[in-house]
Amino acid sequence: MFGNRGFCLNTLFGSILALAGWVGNGRVLAEPTLQIYLEGGLYDTATQSWYLAPPGSSAGEPFRLWIIGDTSKGPIEEVRLSMAYSSIYRANGVDLAVTITPTTTGGLFGFTDPSTPPPPTFLQYGAEGTQPVLGDGSPLPAHGIYGEGVVWQEWL
């Protein structure tokens, strides 16, 4: 991803989002090089994750997820997005449907970037009780969200 860019995701249910990024084989810290923001979401400082909807509620509306990078020192590459959610939304070979539509900032808050990021590539569905793996083979920190009753999807 290059510049200030966002992604708009459509989903059938509220979910938990975690972002792992790295440049080449070295890991990139989330501050200040790479930031994530979920419009209308709730940020939990304990799990360091964004929640789309509070537990017990449902959401079926599109939402906007911003993944913003400081590219002043060069491009940010190989960023992965993991979306975790209750395993009840994966049943009988059917999973939560997610559409990711890249977009620009549109001048929001004075930020402009006329380029549109390429669409992300779907990587995998994660089994219940597992968690995504970073580029070096170590597990993505659990953030208090991965475990029993939780499945996930991942994009690059």
DSSP per-residue codes, 122-141: EEEEEPTT---B-TTSPBPP
Do 84 and 145 contact (CB within 8 A), yes or no? yes
Nearest Cα to Cα of residue 98 among 6, 8, 7, 10 = 10
In the structure, what pLDDT confidence band is assigned to residue 10 with cuts at 50, 70 and 90?
very low
Do 123 and 133 contact (CB within 8 A), yes or no? no
In the structure, what pLDDT confidence band is assigned to residue 151 with cuts at 50, 70 and 90?
very high
pTM score: 0.70
Beta strands in the chain (DSSP E): 4-10, 16-20, 22-23, 26-27, 34-38, 42-44, 49-51, 63-69, 80-86, 99-103, 122-126, 150-155
pLDDT, tens digit (0-9, with 9 covering 90-100), for 29-88: 445 678 888 888 888 888 888 887 655 555 566 788 888 777 777 777 888 889 888 898
3-class secondary-structure state, position 101: strand
Task: Say what the pLDDT of residue 57 is.
Answer: 52
Q: What span, in angstroms and rounded, lies between the C-alpha atoms of 10 and 54?
A: 17
Q: What span, in angstroms and rounded, lies between the C-alpha atoms of 35 and 43?
A: 13
Strand partners, 122: 155
pLDDT, tens digit (0-9, with 9 covering 90-100), for 101-143: 888 777 777 777 767 778 899 999 999 999 999 888 898 888 8
